[in-house]
A and B are shown apart, each in its own frame.
Chain A
Amino acid sequence: EAEVAQSPRYKITEKSQAVAFWCDPISGHATLYWYRQILGQGPELLVQFQDESVVDDSQLPKDRFSAERLKGVDSTLKIQPAELGDSAMYLCASSLVRGQNTEAFFGQGTRLTVV
């Protein structure tokens, strides 16, 4: 069964350091999402891509967060510098086609701890 792949599963980093997460969506899925989930809450969207283009990054803290999907396939989310409040689960999801109501499939996430 096709899955959204994320790495690493866990990451511990010191504050002020840079950290990066990688996501490989399900093959053929044009839409890719990055969500952040704070413990005890639902996921919140950080950025949404349609192919290689950003379609929504209104909730992305652009002073420290960046995301790219250069070839419209896999994606990287970066934080520099990391802050203590960035500790959370970072989830990647993909869906088949934007413009139609289709489910988003999630990866297992990257649990980030900033110390």
Chain B
Amino acid sequence: GESVGLHLPTLSVQEGDNSIINCAYSNSASDYFIWYKQESGKGPQFIIDIRSNMDKRQGQRVTVLLNKTVKHLSLQIAATQPGDSAVYFCAENINYGQNFVFGPGTRLSVLP
């Protein structure tokens, strides 16, 4: 399949290890954040979201941390699996319902 993000920053992790993907967002007024996963040739897929009144949210094998002081978002993936290999984007949403602004993305490569 076609490759998404040929020149993106890449994070390589061993299968079974934990992954941490970081994102710096741009607007201090952003009040809602989403992490998306994008596999080659496909559209972005929702992973987890967090609102600005929270600093941590957990899902199945994923945790998102929000640090509003330094405008930083991270995605932690526990026990990384080969199927987690993809490009990951953070997206910020400003002013309730305005468009989502995407970060540049990080390619996660899971090594056997």
Contact = CB atoms under 8 A, between A and B. Distances in A.
Interface residues of A, number: 30
A99 B97 contact: yes
Given A40-B5, A42-B89, A100-B97, A105 B51 contact: no
B80 to A, nearest CB: 22
B90 to A, nearest CB: 9
Interface string B87-100: 00101010011111
A26 B57 CA distance: 26
Contact of A39 (B6, B99, B101, B103): B6
B4 interface: yes
Interface stretch (B11-19, B41-49, B59-67, B68-76): B41-49
Interface residues of B, number: 32
Contact of A101 (B6, B96, B99, B105): B96
A103 B5 contact: no
Interface string A10-30: 000000000000000000000
Nearest to A50: B97
B44 A43 contact: yes
Nearest to B45: A106
B103 A42 contact: yes
B99 A48 contact: yes
B48 to A, nearest CB: 9
A103 B104 contact: no
5 contacts: A39-B6, A40-B8, A56-B98, A101-B32, A101-B97
Q: Which 7 A-B pairs give the minimum distances between C-beta atoms?
A: A42-B102, A98-B97, A106-B43, A101-B32, A45-B99, A106-B44, A99-B97
